[in-house]
Structure formats: structure tokens, C-alpha cells
């Protein structure tokens, strides 16, 4: 629904609206740039109505709920504002503590929204695909790179053949995927603005008949064109920073679900790692152990000399 359709529908229905709904319309007309990034509760407070009135208003316009209505408003506003401008609109008059609360609340809403759009059957399919694959390739570039790294770190505790595709060169991506085949699984992670390199990697893996899992934000994401199953979560944020809280929660859930299917393997690997860590002093007071007594004595002597007038 574009700007003309949405506000045309509002104008047509205005005379039949309740007093509270008309207050919401006036708020939209007065300060759409700010209102589009408010929660339902914040919009209700600004309009002098209850949160439930805002939700019912959104549904009266044909939306499934407030998140869909808010998304439509943001599409309108985002066409006119840059990321920095949107931050200024939302946070410009906020104190530091209010910014913390607002960002945390926004991330909580992204997780709640993700619970609504995530398909449990697709999640189960993704788990089974990973369990039945010979090799697993994970690609997530730019801001999605931390997600890919996190996923690969834990998958390596469960599976033997897990590979992280990490490069800024398109040619190197294809070199790393050269022998991908139908017994392998490729996980592509990308959110707006979508990575063309990730998309091309998914396209290539699809041509090689590999099993594909897309971790992305909606059905219109280009990654879904090639994915055998798509795991959808919200990631948008009103700032120059992508919100990765919901995607990370999804990845956590994916790892936990796989661990439950491979409990014996995970326990055996962790026990073996504990032994290696202990033998090689990976954890504990290793920083202290690397400093001998003479070095400590020299440090104290130099420190004392330096403090003399």
C-alpha cells in the first residue's frame, strides 16, 4: 500500500471514525516522520488514546496488526529521509537513558515480530537439512559477518566439515564454493541492503543442486529465490546500525535445536576440548603464567623509580 492508497483510505473513512481514531489521524498528518517510528504504545500516548485503540485503528485500515501498519508508514517516510535523518527524528530530543530504553524496546519488538513471522516447519526443515549434509558452508558479508562467524563457531563443535565463506572478492567466493554439491548445505545470511555477493553465491550453489537455507527478513528478499527453506526474522532499525538481535536469537535457537539432536557428539567434543584447554592452559591465569618473576620484579622497580620526585 503506497502513500496515496493509505492516506486516501484514511480520508475516505475519516467521517466514520471514532474520536480516538481521528486523534490518531491528526497525529499522522502533523508529524508523520516521527510517528512512523513510534511503538503502538508511544503513538497512543502521543495521540491521547490507548494502545489497543491504535492497534484497532491499524486493523480497520486492512492491516493484520500494528507492525504491518508501522511498516507501511516507514516505507513512506524512508523514501524521504536518510538514516541519519531518521535517527534525528526518533532520538533527537531524547536523553541518553531514553535512547537506551528506546533501542532496547525496539529490539524486543523485533524479536516478538520475528516469532510471529518465523515458520516452525521451515525451522525444522533447516535443522534436518543441516543434520543430513556432508558439508556446511556459511556466508554472511558486511554487517552480517558477525552472525556468520558466530554460527560457524558453534557448528564446528557439532559437525566436522563446516566452512566460513569470508572474502570481499566475488571470485574468491566461487573458488571456496567450487566443489559444493547436492550433499552439501549452504546457509546465506543477508538483510537490507542485501549483499549481491551473497546472492550470487546462493545462485551458484543452487545451480550445483546444494541444499540452501536463507536467513533473511521477508519473503521478498532476493535470497528466497534460491533457498530450499527460508528463516525469516526482523532486522530493521532506525539508525545507521543494523539490529541483529532477532537474527542472533534465531541462530541461537538453530544451534540449540541441532545440539538436542546430536547430544552425544556435542558432549564428546566438549569433553575433549576441556582436556585440550587444560593441557595447553588455554583458559585460567594464562596471562600471569606467561610473565616470569624477574619481569614482575623489574616492573615494580621501574614503577617505583618513576614515582620518585
136-140 and 229-232 strand pairing: unpaired
| pLDDT at residue 307, as a whole number | 47
Bridge partner list, 213: 187, 229
Ranges of each domain in the chain: 3-116, 120-261, 266-307
| CATH of range 3-116; options 1.10.357.10, 3.40.50.970, 3.40.50.300, 1.10.10.10 | 1.10.10.10
Q: Going residue by residue through the chain (309 aa), what tens digit of pLDDT does each one get?
A: 444 467 777 877 888 888 999 999 888 877 777 788 888 888 999 899 999 999 999 998 888 889 888 888 887 776 554 444 555 545 555 566 677 877 788 788 889 888 888 999 999 999 999 999 999 999 998 889 999 999 999 999 889 899 999 776 667 888 888 889 999 999 999 988 788 889 889 999 999 999 999 999 888 888 998 898 999 998 865 555 567 899 999 999 999 999 888 888 878 877 777 777 666 666 655 444 444 455 445 544 544 554 455
CATH 3.40.50.10490 assigned to domain 120-261? The reply is yes
CA distance 106 to 234: 11
3-116 with 120-261: one CATH topology? no
The overall pTM is greater than 0.75: no
Using DSSP, state whether 47 is helix, strand or coil: helix
Pairing outcome for strands 136-140 and 211-216: unpaired
Q: What is the pLDDT of residue 124?
A: 95
* pLDDT for the residue numbered 93: 56
Q: What is the pLDDT of residue 264?
A: 83
Would you call 190 exposed, middle or buried from its count of C-beta atoms within 10 A (0-12, 13-18, 19+)? buried
As a whole number of angstroms, the distance between CA 107 and CA 225 comes to 27
Q: What is the pLDDT of residue 33?
A: 73
Amino acid at each position: 500500500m503506497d502513500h496515496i492508497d493509505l492516506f486516501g483510505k484514511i480520508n475516505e473513512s475519516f467521517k466514520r471514525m471514532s474520536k480516538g481514531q481521528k486523534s490518531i489521524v491528526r497525529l499522522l498528518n502533523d508529524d508523520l516522520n516521527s510517528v512512523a517510528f513510534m511503538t503502538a504504545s508511544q503513538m497512543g500516548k502521543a495521540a491521547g488514546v490507548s494502545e489497543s485503540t491504535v492497534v484497532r485503528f491499524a486493523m480497520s485500515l486492512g492491516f493484520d496488526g500494528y507492525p504491518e501498519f508501522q511498516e507501511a508508514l516507514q516505507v513512506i517516510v524512508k523514501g524521504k529521509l536518510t538514516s541519519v535523518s531518521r535517527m534525528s527524528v526518533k532520538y533527537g530530543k531524547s536523553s541518553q537513558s531514553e535512547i537506551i530504553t528506546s533501542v532496547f524496546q525496539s529490539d524486543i519488538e523485533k524479536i516478538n515480530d520475528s516469532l510471529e513471522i518465523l515458520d516452525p516447519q521451515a525451522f525444522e526443515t533447516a535443522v534436518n537439512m543441516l543434520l543430513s549434509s556432508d558439508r556446511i558452508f556459511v556466508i554472511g558479508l558486511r554487517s552480517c559477518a558477525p552472525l556468520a562467524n558466530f554460527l560457524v563457531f558453534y557448528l564446528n563443535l557439532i559437525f566436522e566439515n563446516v566452512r566460513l565463506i569470508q572474502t570481499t572478492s566475488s571470485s574468491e567466493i566461487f573458488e571456496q564454493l567450487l566443489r559444493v554439491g547436492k550433499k552439501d548445505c549452504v546457509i546465506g545470511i543477508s538483510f537490507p541492503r542485501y549483499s549481491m555477493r551473497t546472492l550470487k553465491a546462493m545462485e551458484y550453489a543452487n545451480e550445483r543442486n546444494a541444499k540452501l537455507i536463507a536467513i533473511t527478513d521477508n519473503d521478498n528478499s532476493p535470497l528466497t529465490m534460491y533457498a530450499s527453506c527460508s528463516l525469516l526474522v526482523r532486522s530493521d532499525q532506525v539508525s545507521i546500525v543494523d539490529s541483529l538481535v532477532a537474527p542472533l536469537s534465531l541462530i541461537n535457537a538453530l544451534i540449540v535445536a541441532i545440539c538436542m539432536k546430536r547430544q552425544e557428539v556435542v558432549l564428546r567434543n566438549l569433553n575433549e576440548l576441556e582436556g585440550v584447554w587444560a593441557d595447553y592452559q588455554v583458559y585460567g591465569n594464562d596471562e600471569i603464567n606467561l610473565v616470569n618473576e624477574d619481569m614482575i620484579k623489574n616492573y615494580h622497580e621501574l614503577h617505583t623509580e618513576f614515582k620518585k620526585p
